[in-house]
Amino acid sequence: MYPFLLVGLGGAIGAISRYGVSILVGRIWPHAFPLGTLLINIAGSAAMGLFIGILARTLPPWQQEARLFIAIGILGGFTTFSSFSLDTIALMERGEMLQAGLYVLLSVVVCLIGLYLGLLVTRGSPA
């Protein structure tokens, strides 16, 4: 139960932070281009790289709890793109280039198709 609590609390912090950043960027950049989302994805991915890199170098005894709370919780709630980026780089670092490419292709293309199909289903036929 404790791991779920760590992820849940971290996720709430990350989601609230994402919302706050998107509101702030929307006030500064009132254009149709989704700059807020782009900046959140970049910042979250960079933070994930820094955090995982530091965690791997220091190997603290609370490493598992920190990974659950910060990487999966806070950064995952802030942007799942950071998790996607970490998974892709991990595959590449293991030399699994085909799997990394397939993961990127399927994640982007199939997720876009899934979203589009969901919209089609909920929109129904035009009245």
Res 125: pLDDT: 60
Distance CA 87, CA 71 (A): 12
Consult the annotation and say whether 79 binds a ligand: yes
Coil, helix or strand at residue 60? coil
Q: Which long-range contacts (CB under 8 A, 24 or more apart) does 56-60 make?
A: none
Count CB atoms within 10 A of the CB of residue 97: 10
Q: What is the pLDDT of residues 21-72, one digit of tens each?
A: 999 999 999 888 889 989 999 999 999 999 999 998 888 899 999 999 999 9
Res 47: pLDDT: 93
Distance CA 73, CA 46 (A): 16
Tokens representing 2 are 């404790």
Res 120: pLDDT: 87
Residue 127 has pLDDT above 70, yes or no: no
Consult the annotation and say whether 76 binds a ligand: yes
Q: Spell out the alpha helix ranges (H) of the chain.
A: 2-28, 35-58, 63-66, 76-78, 80-93, 97-123
Distance CA 81, CA 36 (A): 13
Res 32: pLDDT: 85
Res 34: pLDDT: 87
